[in-house]
A and B are shown apart, each in its own frame.
Chain A
C-alpha cells in the first residue's frame, strides 16, 4: 500500500488532517485502532463541543459525526479501522490487523494519536491497590459506551475536565459523588464545567486537598484525605477518612508518544515542531493532543487541518519554507508550540499557556534586537486555557521571544 499522506489516529485531529490533506490533492489514508472514527469524542456524550469551529453547540458524538461525514465525502481519502500501528519507520508504518501485519508506505506522515490519562502509578497514589480505582476516561467509557456503573460512592481526585464531567454523569446515574479533591489552589478544568458539573449538583470541591492513602483490600473502602501545604506536603493534622467504593482519577493527560522515537520536550511531554507542525524527522507532522494537550476540541480540529495541509504540501513537493528561527519564551509562559518558526509567506500560529493567571497585559513577540514584532492584548487568562497568537511570517527575520508585558 502506498499513499502520499498517512494519518495515524482517527480522532478529531486525525480526521481533520485527513480531510484537509485529501482536499489539497494528496492520496491520504487514516489509520484508526478502534472499529469507528471519532476517537475519544465517541464517549463524550455531554455538550459543549463545536462552539468555535462550527459556531454551534454539539455533543461529542455529534461533533465527531460532522467530521465523519466530511471524511466520507472525500474521494482521495481512505480509512482503515480496527488497525493498529505497531511501528513507525521514517514515514512508513507497520500495521497490525486481523488480516496480518504489513507496511504502508507514505511520503508524509501525520501523527494524531491523541493523549492518555495519568494513572495512580504516575501520581504515586499510596495505600492499598484494590479494585475500584479508575481513570476518568475509563469510567466514562464504562458508563457511556458499555452502559455499566463503575461505582456507587465516588471520590474524584483531580479537577480535570473529564473528572468534572464524570462527577456529574455518575450523579445523574444515581451514584453519590462525595467530593472532588484538587491538590492545586486552582482547578485545572474549564470554569463552565466547575459550574455546570459541580456547583449545580452540590458536589463539594476541595482545593489544596488530596488523597493521603487508599484503603480497602478487595474493593476500595475509603480514602484518607487532607490538605497540602504550598510545597504539596501532606499536612498530617488535617487527615480525615471518607468512605467510598470508587476513586476516579482526573489528574492530567500525557501525549501518547509510544511510537515516536524523537527528542521529547519536557514541557509538553511531546516532540518539538516548527510552525509547519513538522517534527525533527523529515516528512513527519504532528497535531492534536499528541503534540500538546488542548482544552477544546475545536482547537484540535484546526491544528489537525494545518498539519494535514502542510503534510500534503510536503508530499506533493509544494511546501515552501523560508529561513528557520528559534522561538523562546519568558518565564510567565510555560511552553510554546512551535519552538521553531520560519520567515516567508503566510501566517504562523503560536500556541502557548501561561504559568499563572495573567490579567490586563500584552503578549508581545520580540525579535533579537528587542523590537516588538507583534502584540496581542489579554484581558484575563488562566493556565488551563490555551492561548493563540498569530504572526505574519514576512515580519520574521531573527530568533523570537514571546513575553508578557504590562500595559
Chain B
C-alpha cells in the first residue's frame, strides 16, 4: 500500500520549508512539494534578507504578532541550522519626529523591545553618512539580517534528515479527496496525504483551485534591488530605512550576512515577473541620496527583482472553510521571512492542532562548511584530509572544489548552477561567475552523474551550453 503522509506542504519557500522541518522534527511524516528544480526559488530567494524587529506592522495583525514572535525565535533556528544570522539592528531615518514617535509607539504596542528614538547627533555617531535633511530616527536593536535562501535550503534539508520527503520539479495536476486522505497527482507520480498546507506563494491560487479551497484576490508588487560589491560592505553597519509610506517600507540600504550591500526595493504593481527595469533602477538611484550620502551604485555587481504576493493588509493564515484538513497560507509578503518560524508554530499548534515540539531524537543537519570562516590551522587540517579544499574555484568568494562537492552531496542535491550558488556562493561575487561558472558546471555534472550539456542555470530548459562544437 502506498505511504500516506500526515501532511503535504505545497511550496518550498521559507514558510513551507519551516513548516516541513518543524513537522518532521516533531515526528510527523511530511512531504514538501515544489514545482521548481530547487527550494527557495521564488520570493524566498529575492528579498532583503531582513528579520524585522516588528514595529512596522499594524498592532494586533498577524503580521505584527508573528513578526515579534518570529524575531525572538530566529536565533535558536539559525543556531540549530548553522545559518548566519547577524544582529546588526535597523534604523528608520527621516525628518518627521512625529512619524518616528508613531513608529516607536506602534512598536511598543506590538511588544517590540529595545526601540530608541534618536536625534540627528545620535544618528550621526552610528551612521556618519546620513543625508543633511535627516533630523531624527528610530533604532531597533533586535533587527537582524539572515541569508534567506540558505536558511530555506537548510530547513528543507532538516525536514529530509528527520524523515520528510521533498518532491522537486513536481507539477501538480489534481488533488482529490479519497477516503480520509488527499490523492495528489502530478508530473512525478501520486502522493497521498491526510492534510494539506497550501503555502505555494505566487502559485497559491493555482493549487487552491485544484484543491477546491478558497482563492484570494492577489496583487503582485515587484521589488528591484542593486547588489553592491563587498568592497562597499562597511558603508552601513545596520539596515537603514526611510520612514515608511503607504507603498511600503521604502528603499532601504542593508548589509548582507556575506558582506555585500543591498539597495532596494522598489514597489510597483506588476505581473508575476521578476524582470528589472531602467525605471525601477533609476527610481532607487534617485531615492537613496535622500537618506544616505555614501552609497556608490557604480559598485553594483548585480541587479535583481523579486515579486511580493499581496492579499490585502494582513497575511491569510487560516483553515479552509470549504475543504476540511486544508490550511491556507496566502499573501505572505514582507515581513514573511521574519515571521516564518512563528507562522510555522502558529499553523502547527493552532490550525492543525498537532504537536509542535521537536522529538528528543530529532536530527540536526551538518552545517555548510566555509573554509574561510575557519582558522588557518583548521583549514590546513581539512586540506590535508581532502586536498580539494585547497583548490579554489570561485576566486571572488574563495570557494574550493571541496566545498562545492560538499554543497552538492547534501540531503537535497542541487541540480542547477544557481542551486550551487545559493548553497555555497560560488559565482556570487564580483565576477558573477565569469571565471568559475564553467568549472562549477563541470563539478555539478560530475557529482550528479549527468552530462554538462544537461546542466541548467535555474529553470528547466535553461541550459548552460549547447553541447560539443560541431553539434551533436
Please determine whether A99 and B383 come into contact, CB atoms closer than 8 angstroms: yes
List 24 interface pairs A-B (beta carbons < 8 Å), by A numbering: A97-B391, A101-B390, A116-B430, A119-B432, A121-B302, A124-B276, A126-B281, A129-B276, A130-B459, A132-B462, A138-B433, A141-B438, A146-B438, A148-B452, A149-B466, A149-B469, A174-B470, A214-B275, A217-B459, A217-B462, A218-B456, A218-B459, A234-B278, A258-B396
What are the nearest 6 A-B pairs in CB distance?
A98-B387, A131-B457, A121-B302, A218-B462, A131-B462, A218-B461
Apart from A101-B376, A120-B302, A148-B467, what 16 extra A-B contacts exist at CB < 8 Å? A97-B390, A98-B387, A98-B390, A99-B390, A117-B431, A117-B434, A119-B430, A121-B300, A122-B301, A128-B274, A142-B465, A148-B453, A218-B460, A218-B462, A219-B462, A258-B395
Q: How far is the CB of A315 from chain B (nearest CB, A)?
A: 26
Please determine whether A219 and B387 come into contact, CB atoms closer than 8 angstroms: no
**Contact residue range for chain A?**
35 or more
Please determine whether B458 and A137 come into contact, CB atoms closer than 8 angstroms: no
B170 at the interface (CB under 8 A from A): no
Contact (A98, B391) CB under 8 Å given A138-B437, A148-B469: yes
Query: Within the assembled complex, what's the spacing in Å between the Cα atoms of A137 and B438?
Result: 11
Question: Which residues of chain A have C-beta atoms less than 8 A from B390's C-beta?
Answer: 96-101
B346 at the interface (CB under 8 A from A): no
Please determine whether B456 and A131 come into contact, CB atoms closer than 8 angstroms: yes
A391 at the interface (CB under 8 A from B): no
Find residues 190-209 in chain A having any chain B CB closer than 8 Å to their own CB.
Answer: none
Q: Which of A124, A135, A142 has the most CB of B within 10 A?
A: A124
Query: Within the assembled complex, what's the spacing in Å between the Cα atoms of A125 and B273?
Result: 16
Question: Which residues of chain A have C-beta atoms less than 8 A from B383's C-beta?
Answer: 96, 98-101
Find residues 275-289 in chain B having any chain A CB closer than 8 Å to their own CB.
Answer: 275-278, 281
Query: Within the assembled complex, what's the spacing in Å between the Cα atoms of A146 and B466?
Result: 12
A173 at the interface (CB under 8 A from B): yes
Closest to A145 in B: B438
Query: Within the assembled complex, what's the spacing in Å between the Cα atoms of A116 and B376?
Result: 28
Q: Which of A82, A84, A128, A149 contacts B275 (CB 8 A)?
A: A128
User: 1/0 contact trace for B370-403 toward A, CB 8 Å?
Assistant: 0000001001100110011011100110101000
Question: Which residues of chain B have C-beta atoms less than 8 A from A173's C-beta?
Answer: 469-470
B435 at the interface (CB under 8 A from A): yes
Closest to A245 in B: B466
Query: Within the assembled complex, what's the spacing in Å between the Cα atoms of A100 and B395?
Result: 16
Query: Within the assembled complex, what's the spacing in Å between the Cα atoms of A96 and B395?
Result: 11
Q: How far is the CB of A150 from chain B (nearest CB, A)?
A: 5
Q: How far is the CB of B284 from chain A (nearest CB, A)?
A: 11
Closest to A121 in B: B302
User: 1/0 contact trace for A96-118 toward B, CB 8 Å?
Assistant: 11111100000000000000110
A213 at the interface (CB under 8 A from B): yes
User: 1/0 contact trace for A79-99 toward B, CB 8 Å?
Assistant: 000101010000000001111
Find residues 174-231 in chain A having any chain B CB closer than 8 Å to their own CB.
Answer: 174, 212-214, 217-219
Question: Which residues of chain A have C-beta atoms less than 8 A from B368's C-beta?
Answer: none
Please determine whether B387 and A138 come into contact, CB atoms closer than 8 angstroms: no
A143 at the interface (CB under 8 A from B): yes
A322 at the interface (CB under 8 A from B): no
Q: Which of B392, B395, B435, B464 contacts A131 (CB 8 A)?
A: B464
Question: Which residues of chain B have C-beta atoms less than 8 A from A124's C-beta?
Answer: 276, 278, 281, 300, 303
A147 at the interface (CB under 8 A from B): yes
Query: Within the assembled complex, what's the spacing in Å between the Cα atoms of A234 and B279?
Result: 11
Please determine whether B468 and A126 come into contact, CB atoms closer than 8 angstroms: no
Find residues 420-472 in chain B having any chain A CB closer than 8 Å to their own CB.
Answer: 430-435, 437-438, 452-453, 456-471
A23 at the interface (CB under 8 A from B): no
Please determine whether A126 and B431 come into contact, CB atoms closer than 8 angstroms: no
User: 1/0 contact trace for B286-301 toward A, CB 8 Å?
Assistant: 0000000000000011
Please determine whether B466 and A116 come into contact, CB atoms closer than 8 angstroms: no
Query: Within the assembled complex, what's the spacing in Å between the Cα atoms of A127 and B469?
Result: 29
Query: Within the assembled complex, what's the spacing in Å between the Cα atoms of A152 and B471?
Result: 10
Please determine whether B395 and A33 come into contact, CB atoms closer than 8 angstroms: yes
A288 at the interface (CB under 8 A from B): no
A60 at the interface (CB under 8 A from B): no
